Amino acid sequence: MARFIYGIHPALEALKAAPGQIERIFFVQGPLTGLAARIAQDARALGLAVEFAPRERLARLCEGGVHQGVVLRVADFSYADLEDVLELAAAAGERALVLALDGVEDPHNFGALLRSAWALGAQGVVIAKDRAVGVTGVVVKASAGAAAHLKVSRVTNLARALGQMKDAGLWVSAADPRGDRAPEAVDFCASTALVVGGEGAGIRPNVLSRADFRIRIPMVGELGSLNASVAGGVLLYEIARQRRVRSMAE
């Protein structure tokens, strides 16, 4: 089953990370300039099929998304096994970092979380099959191409998957508005699995019960909580910050 990803940066990252998954590249009719010309050059060098089409056709292919004149038809997203993610985490040692998402349904939030996870050092992302968005074209666009680089595992039982992460030596920290720990009170220099809940319901009780630490992000403004992508970004940055400080001190 084919799917479409679109936009300049997602296309560049797909060409870099997974050219074998690309079936055809569509460009809007007209002369190519800048990064679009570079994409076409790289695609032809790789022997990929290139086609020019009216802007309206590209809009239909990406269901109205902002395609910037480039749309890729690629094979359906290949999810990794949880064991593959854990293997990468084990290879990272104390810098192991896995992001687990419970019920994130908004593709823009999911894409932003993938972008933050890749930028801030995560080896992989684990999501639940039910009540959650998968890796779609909108998600890839929102991730600015990070989805092409990260291992994403889709599991039937997220609570059980967290148990496997704990057995593999990762400490599980959950973003929880009612948590009893501030971010800076948790030692993120240890191998970490960070859990972020979805819009509205947050982390389900059976998933939250697996957490070693429940982390509340202090806020000055009178809001109930931050949205999933912002909360995840704040905590991922705190993890990266603590690890950078530790590295500088060693």
Domains identified in the chain and CATH numbers? 2-75 (3.30.1330.30), 82-249 (3.40.1280.10)
Pair 180, 214: CB distance under 8 Å:
yes
Give the span between the Cα atoms of 12 and 146, in whole angstroms: 11
Pinpoint the alpha helices (H) of 120-227: 137-142, 158-167, 205-208
Per-residue tokens: 88: 């990468």
- The letter for the amino acid at 199 is E
Give the span between the Cα atoms of 118 and 142, in whole angstroms: 13
pLDDT, position 2: 61
Q: Which residues pair with 171 in a beta bridge?
A: 192
The chain-wide mean pLDDT, for the chain, equals 92
- Helix 82-92 to helix 158-167 angle (10° resolution) is 30
pLDDT, position 155: 97
Mean pLDDT over 181-204 rounds to: 94
pLDDT, position 223: 59
pLDDT, position 144: 82
pLDDT, position 18: 82
> How far lies 114's CA from each of 30, 94, 140, 161, 207, in Å?
33, 21, 9, 19, 20
**pLDDT > 90? residue 200:** no
Helix (H) or strand (E) run with residue 250 in it: none
pLDDT, position 16: 87
pLDDT, position 79: 93
Radius of gyration of the chain (CA): 19
Q: Quick check: pTM over 0.85?
A: no
pLDDT, tens digit, for every residue of 114-161?
A: 999 999 999 999 999 888 999 988 898 888 888 888 999 999 999 999
Helix (H) or strand (E) run with residue 74 in it: strand 70-75
pLDDT, position 120: 97
Least confidently predicted of 21-35, 91-105, 183-197, 205-219: 21-35
pLDDT, position 209: 96
**pLDDT > 80? residue 224:** no
DSSP label at 213? E
**pLDDT > 70? residue 210:** yes
pLDDT, position 225: 66
pLDDT, tens digit, for every residue of 24-70?
A: 999 999 888 899 999 999 899 989 989 999 999 999 988 888 899 99
**pLDDT > 60? residue 1:** no
pLDDT, position 220: 74
pLDDT, position 222: 61
Least confidently predicted of 62-76, 186-200, 213-227: 213-227
